[in-house]
A and B are shown apart, each in its own frame.
Chain A
Amino acid sequence: MNTREHVVAMANQIARNFVVRDRASAAEATARHIREFWDPRMRALILEEARTDAPALSPEAKAAALIAADDRAATAGKP
Chain B
Amino acid sequence: MAADPEADFGTPARHGAPVRLTIDGRAVTVPEGTSVMRAAALADAAIPKLCATDTLESFGSCRLCLVEIEGARGTPASCTTPVREGMVVATQTERLKKLRRGVMELYISDHPLDCLTCSANNDCELQDQAAAVGLRDVRYGYDGANHLDAPADVSNPYFDFDPAKCIVCSRCVRACDEVQGTFALTIDGRGFASKVSAGMPEDDFLNSECVSCGACVAACPTATLNEKAVAEIGTPQRAVVTTCAYCGVGCSFRAEMRGEEVVRMVPAKDGKANRGHSCVKGRFAYGYAHHGDRITTPMIRASTADPWRPVSWEEAFAYAASELQRIQATYGRQAVGGISSSRCTNEETFLVQKLVRAGFGNNNIDTCARVCHSPTGYGLKATFGTSAGTQDFDSVADADVILVIGANPTDGHPVFASRMKSRLRQGAKLIVIDPRRIDLVRTPHVEAAHHLPLQPGTNVALLTAMAHVIVTEGLADEAFVAARCDMDEYREWAAFVAEPRHSPEVLEAVTRVPAANVRAAARLYATGGNAAIYYGLGVTEHSQGSSTVMAIANLAMATGNIGRPGVGVNPLRGQNNVQGACDMGSFPHELSGYRHIAGAEGRRLFEGDWGVSLDPEPGLRIPNMLDAAVDGVFKGIYIQGEDILQSDPNTKHVLAGLKAMECVIVHDLFLNETANYAHVFFPGSTFLEKDGTFTNAERRIQRVRKVMSPLAGLADWEVTVGLANALGLQWSYGHPSEIMDEIARLTPTFAGVSYALLETEGSLQWPVTEAAPAGTPVMHADHFVRGKGKFVITDYVPTDEKTGPRYPLLLTTGRILSQYNVGAQTRRTRNTVWHEADVLEIHPFDAENRGLASGDWARLASRAGETSLRVLVTDRVAPGVVYTTFHHPETQANVVTTEHSDWATNCPEYKVTAVEVSPSNGPSDWQARYQAAADRARRIEPAEPAE
- The smallest beta-carbon distance between B545 and chain A, in angstroms, is 11
User: Least Cβ distance of A76 to chain B in Å?
Assistant: 5
- Known contacts A14-B904, A39-B624; decide if A2 and B544 are in contact (CB<8 Å): no
A residues 63-79 in Cβ contact with B at 8 Å: 72, 75-79
B599 located at the interface, meaning its Cβ lies under 8 Å from any Cβ of chain A in the complex: yes
Q: How far is the CB of A4 from chain B (nearest CB, A)?
A: 8
A21-B623 in contact (CB<8A): no
State whether A77 touches B628 (Cβ < 8 A). Answer: no
Residue-wise interface mask of B (608-639) relative to A, using a CB-CB cutoff of 8 A (1 in contact, 0 not): 00000000111111011001101101000000
Q: Decide yes or no whether B601 CB sits under 8 A from chain A.
A: yes
A15-64: which have CB < 8 Å to B? 16-17, 20-22, 33, 36-42
CB B799 to nearest CB in A, in angstroms, measures: 10
Q: Say whether chain A's binding surface is mostly helix, strand, loop, or mixed.
A: helix
Distance, CA A20 to CA B592, complexed state (A)? 32
- Given the complex, which residues of A lie within 8 Å of B589, measured CB to CB? 36-37
Q: Report the minimum CB–CB distance from A8 to chain B (whole Å).
A: 12
Q: Please determine whether B797 and A20 come into contact, CB atoms closer than 8 angstroms.
A: yes
The B130-157 residues at the A interface (CB cut-off 8 A) are none
Chain A proximity mask over B879-921: 1 for CB below 8 Å, otherwise 0: 0000000000000000000010001111000000000000000
Q: Is the CB of A3 within 8 A of B598?
A: no
Inter-chain contact A17/B633, CB cutoff 8 Å? no
Interface set, chain B 454-494, CB cutoff 8 A to A:
none
Known pairs A1-B627, A14-B903; A21 contacts B598 (CB<8 A) = no
- Whether A2 pairs with B618 at a CB distance below 8 angstroms is no
A19 to chain B, nearest CB (A): 9
B598 neighbours in A (Cβ, 8 Å): 36, 72, 75-78
Residues of chain A lying within 8 A (CB to CB) of residue B903: 10, 13-14, 16-17
- Return the chain A residue nearest B595 by Cβ: A79
Residues of A within 8 A of B906 (CB): 10
Inter-subunit contact A76/B599 (CB<8 Å): yes
Q: Are B547 and A6 in contact (CB under 8 A)?
A: no
Closest chain A residue to B795 by CB distance?
A: A20
B436 at interface, CB cutoff 8 A = no
A33 to B906 CA separation, bound complex (whole angstroms) = 12
Interface, chain B (partner A; CB < 8 A): 334, 363-364, 381, 543-544, 547, 588-589, 596, 598-601, 616-621, 623-624, 627-628, 630-631, 633, 653, 792-795, 797, 800, 899, 903-906
Residues of B within 8 A of A13 (CB): 543, 800, 903
Q: Is the CB of A1 within 8 A of B899?
A: yes
Q: Which residues of A contact B (CB under 8 A)?
A: 1-4, 6, 10, 13-14, 16-17, 20-22, 33, 36-42, 72, 75-79
A39–B600 contact, CB under 8 A?
A: no
- The reply to whether B793 and A20 form a contact with Cβ atoms under 8 Å apart is yes
- Chain B proximity of A72: nearest CB distance (Å): 7
Cα A22 to Cα B589 in complex, Å, equals 26
CB distance from A42 to the nearest CB of B (A): 6
In the complex, the chain B residue whose C-beta lies closest to that of A21 is B793
Residues of B within 8 A of A17 (CB): 544, 547, 797, 903-904
**Interface pairs (12), CB distance under 8 Å:** A2-B627, A3-B628, A14-B903, A17-B903, A20-B794, A20-B795, A20-B797, A37-B904, A37-B905, A39-B334, A39-B364, A77-B601
CB-CB under 8 A from B792, the residues of chain A are 21
Indicate if the CB atoms of A77 and B899 lie closer than 8 Å: no
Instruction: Find out whether the CB atom of B631 lies under 8 angstroms from the CB atom of A79.
Output: no
A72 to B618 CA separation, bound complex (whole angstroms): 12
Evaluate contact between A41 and B627: CB separation under 8 angstroms: no
Contact B618 A37 (CB under 8 A): yes
Q: Chain A: which residue is nearest B799 at the CB level? A: A13
Bound together, the chains give a CA A23 to CA B632 distance in angstroms of: 37
Contact B797 A6 (CB under 8 A): no
Give chain A residues whose Cβ lies under 8 Å from the Cβ of B334. 39, 41
Task: A74 to B794: give the CA distance in the assembly, Å.
Answer: 27
Give the most central of A2, A10, A79: most B CB within 10 Å: A79
Whether A76 and B600, one on each chain, are in contact in the complex, defined by CB atoms closer than 8 angstroms, is yes
Alpha-carbon distance between A4 and B620 when the two chains are bound, in angstroms: 14
